[in-house]
């Protein structure tokens, strides 16, 4: 028909078809422009989508929607750290969300937001074998659908982070386990953000660091030697020099020998008290909370007036290192009526009593022991007893995203040991301010809760997110270096300066 037309009135038709062609070409051009924008640049996207998507980033988002607000983050340190940390991340989720509206609403939506972790299938003697679990059916791992092996209780539990993190990675491979997903196990190490080493080093230290009569070395030493040999021969280790490996050493004495050989890795620690700064430091490593041993205060409807004890302390007396303050404080406080000051660590049978004591106190003292950190801080948080921290060198978990000054009191040791100083300070904190801190404690306590399956915003998720914040720094490649003592220091300097933006 068109042909017929064209033959009869050529002039008009050709003008018409020219118009059609022009329109078609314009449409094509606009379409291609549109798709080009979609596929290449999210900067183009920001231009196109006038309304910024609320879900900029999972880390920021979690924080805002859960319980801490931007304005809750200390402006000088925390806020800046969040913004800088997420600079590289911002574009991808933006793209994901906008694309999600169009067509890719499928399964790979969370791509890039989730930390991808490769975990070595270490023999069970390094992990669940240490809690007397026996491998069955050729797997080095327990079948979580059948039975989850239990971690030994008592004081071992303080450092049980190794167990919770490993369980969470295993669970990420089992469909149907309802868990929060900041991290997922991947089987191809080339696709992983970090490499996880599932060695239960704290339990190993607690249980096997004694040399038995017929042994030359303790099992703890032997396993560390074996681990160093294994790791340094892996292609994953050689590829990065170990910098993308995540090692657990929460007990201050765990990995005592291996730490000086595996130092390029990211350590997850309780504090830096027993580490020289070139082996572990706040730039490279992650501080994780202790698991509290005190019972959580469920449905806490107490208030300032219903908690009779003003100040509570229970702990061991130490003379060495930073611990001298405990003794000084004891003499200053022992005759004060509203103060409970008792020596001796919380043993199994004492947990109930200590729980009751902390649940009925307004303030709980945390004094540096022979290391800067102790599980008392986390016991206090679980008890909603406002922590009074006297430990000049303490490093706190998730410090760049959580402002501790909103629910903790920090006192310099030199001030705390001055006559009357501490009690005057604490008595000056009145009901309103205390209540504000108590409420905040109830909001943040979940960040310190270890559980299986792991849930949104609990300690396991917070630790994975802290590890994720270290990833941008490890992916910067170095020339291969033969590590001598000089290079060790030099490399650390470089890494520290690289990492410093994460904190300041
Ligand atoms: C692992 O991932 C890399 C990079 O994506 C890919 O080139 C390689 O083929 C993968 N290996 C296996 C065994 O799938
Ligand atoms: C806490 O309160 C909830 C709701 O009122 C209740 O179901 C739960 O049993 C309480 N838990 C405890 C330990 O009292």
Question: What pLDDT, in 10s, does the model give residues 265-315?
Answer: 999 999 998 899 999 999 999 999 999 998 999 999 999 999 999 999 887
User: Is residue 246, in this structure, part of any structural domain at all?
Assistant: yes
Structure confidence at residue 440 as a pLDDT band (50, 70, 90):
very high
Which pLDDT value is given to residue 330? 85
Q: Are residues 401 and 303 in the same domain?
A: yes
Structure confidence at residue 63 as a pLDDT band (50, 70, 90):
very low
CATH code assigned at 306:
3.40.50
User: Is residue 99, in this structure, part of any structural domain at all?
Assistant: no
Q: Is 361's pLDDT higher than 50?
A: yes
Q: Are residues 305 and 339 in the same domain?
A: yes
Residue in the structure block whose two tokens are 């004060």: 336
Q: Are residues 306 and 200 in the same domain?
A: no
Q: Is 490's pLDDT higher than 60?
A: no
User: Is residue 495, in this structure, part of any structural domain at all?
Assistant: yes
**Distance from residue 442's CA to the centre of ligand 2 (Å):** 15
Q: Are residues 172 and 85 in the same domain?
A: no
User: Is residue 104, in this structure, part of any structural domain at all?
Assistant: no
Containing structural domain, residue 221: 109-291+467-474
Q: Are residues 165 and 82 in the same domain?
A: no
Relative orientation angle of helices 201-208 and 161-171, to the nearest 10 degrees: 140
Q: Between these two residues, 75 and 348, which has the higher pLDDT value?
A: 348
Q: Are residues 165 and 203 in the same domain?
A: yes
Q: Are residues 193 and 323 in the same domain?
A: no
Q: Is the peptide bond before 33 cis (omega within 30 degrees of 0)?
A: no
User: Is residue 202, in this structure, part of any structural domain at all?
Assistant: yes
Query: Whole-model pTM?
Result: 0.74
86: nearest Cα among 102, 98, 73, 99? 73
> 68 exposed, middle or buried (CB, 10 Å; 0-12, 13-18, 19+)?
buried
Number of domains in the chain: 3
Q: Are residues 227 and 338 in the same domain?
A: no
Do residues 90 and 59 lie in contact, with contact meaning Cβ atoms separated by under 8 Å?
no
Ligand nearest the Cα of residue 189 is 1
181: nearest Cα among 453, 471, 446, 397? 453
CA-CA-CA-CA dihedral for 412, 418, 422, 425, to nearest 10:
-90
CA-CA-CA-CA dihedral for 57, 60, 61, 62, to nearest 10:
120
Q: Are residues 254 and 373 in the same domain?
A: no
Ligand nearest the Cα of residue 297 is 2
Ligand 1 atom nearest to CA at 190: 2
User: Average pLDDT, whole number, for the chain?
Assistant: 77
Q: Are residues 302 and 391 in the same domain?
A: yes
Which pLDDT value is given to residue 367? 87
Total number of residues shown for the chain = 504
pLDDT tens for residues 192-239? 999 999 999 999 999 999 998 888 999 999 999 999 999 999 999 999
What span, in angstroms and rounded, lies between the C-alpha atoms of 266 and 248?
9
Which residue's CA lies nearest to atom 4 of ligand 2?
299
Which pLDDT value is given to residue 321? 54
**Distance from residue 300's CA to the centre of ligand 2 (Å):** 10
Q: Are residues 370 and 281 in the same domain?
A: no
Q: Please report which residue ranges of 41-194 form alpha helices under DSSP H.
A: 42-48, 58-65, 80-85, 91-102, 161-171
Q: Is 56's pLDDT higher than 60?
A: no
Q: Is the CB of residue 299 below 6 angstroms from any atom belonging to ligand 2?
A: yes
Which pLDDT value is given to residue 162? 97
Ligand 2 atom nearest to CA at 299: 1
**Distance from residue 303's CA to the centre of ligand 2 (Å):** 18
Q: Is the CB of residue 299 below 6 angstroms from any atom belonging to ligand 1?
A: no
Q: Are residues 268 and 229 in the same domain?
A: yes
Rg (C-alpha) for the chain, rounded Å, is 28
Which pLDDT value is given to residue 378? 95
Mean pLDDT of 156-173: 95
Question: What element of type H or E holds 5?
Answer: helix 2-8
């Amino acid at each position: 028909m068109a042909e017929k037309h064209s033959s009869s009135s050529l002039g008009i038709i050709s003008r018409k078809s020219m118009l059609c062609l022009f329109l078609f070409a314009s449409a094509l051009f606009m379409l291609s422009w549109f798709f080009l924008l979609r596929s290449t640049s999210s900067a183009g996207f920001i231009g196109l989508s006038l309304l910024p998507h609320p879900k900029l980033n999972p880390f920021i988002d979690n924080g805002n929607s859960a319980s801490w607000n931007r304005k809750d983050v200390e402006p000088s340190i925390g806020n800046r750290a969040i913004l800088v940390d997420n600079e590289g991340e911002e574009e991808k989720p933006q793209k994901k969300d906008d694309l999600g509206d169009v067509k890719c609403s499928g399964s790979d939506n969370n791509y890039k937001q989730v930390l991808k972790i490769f975990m070595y299938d270490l023999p069970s003697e390094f992990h669940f074998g240490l809690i007397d679990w026996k491998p069955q059916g050729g797997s080095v791992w327990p079948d979580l659908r059948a039975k989850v092996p239990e971690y030994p209780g008592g004081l071992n539990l303080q450092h049980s982070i190794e167990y919770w993190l490993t369980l969470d990675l295993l669970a990420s491979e089992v469909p149907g386990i309802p868990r929060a997903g900041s991290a997922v196990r991947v089987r191809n190490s080339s696709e992983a953000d970090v490499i996880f080493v599932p060695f239960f080093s704290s339990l190993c230290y607690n249980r096997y660091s004694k040399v038995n009569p017929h042994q030359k070395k303790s099992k703890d030493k032997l396993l560390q030697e074996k681990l160093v040999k294994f790791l340094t021969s892996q292609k994953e280790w050689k590829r990065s020099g170990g910098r993308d490996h995540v090692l657990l050493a929460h007990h201050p004495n765990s990995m005592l020998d291996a730490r000086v050989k595996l130092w390029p890795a990211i350590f997850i620690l309780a504090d830096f008290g027993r580490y020289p700064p070139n082996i572990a430091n706040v730039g490279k490593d992650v501080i994780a909370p202790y698991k509290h041993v005190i019972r959580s205060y469920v449905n806490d409807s107490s208030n300032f007036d219903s908690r009779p004890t003003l100040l509570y302390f229970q702990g061991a007396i130490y003379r060495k290192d930073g611990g001298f303050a405990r003794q000084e404080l004891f003499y200053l406080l022992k005759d004060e009526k509203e103060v409970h000051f008792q020596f001796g660590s919380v043993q199994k049978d004492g947990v109930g009593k200590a729980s009751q004591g902390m649940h009925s106190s307004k303030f709980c003292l945390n004094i540096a022991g022979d290391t800067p950190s102790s599980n008392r801080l986390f016991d206090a948080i679980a008890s909603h007893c406002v922590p009074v921290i006297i430990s000049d060198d303490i490093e706190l978990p998730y410090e760049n995203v959580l402002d501790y000054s909103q629910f903790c009191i920090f006192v310099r040791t030199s001030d705390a040991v001055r006559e009357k100083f501490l009690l005057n300070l604490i008595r000056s904190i009145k009901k309103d301010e205390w209540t504000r801190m108590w409420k905040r404690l109830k909001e943040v306590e979940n960040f310190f809760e270890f559980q299986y399956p792991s849930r949104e915003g609990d300690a396991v998720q917070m630790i994975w997110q802290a590890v994720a914040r270290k990833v941008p720094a490890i992916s910067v490649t170095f020339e291969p270096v033969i590590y001598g003592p000089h290079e060790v220091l030099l490399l650390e300097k470089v890494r520290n300066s690289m990492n410093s933006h994460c904190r300041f």
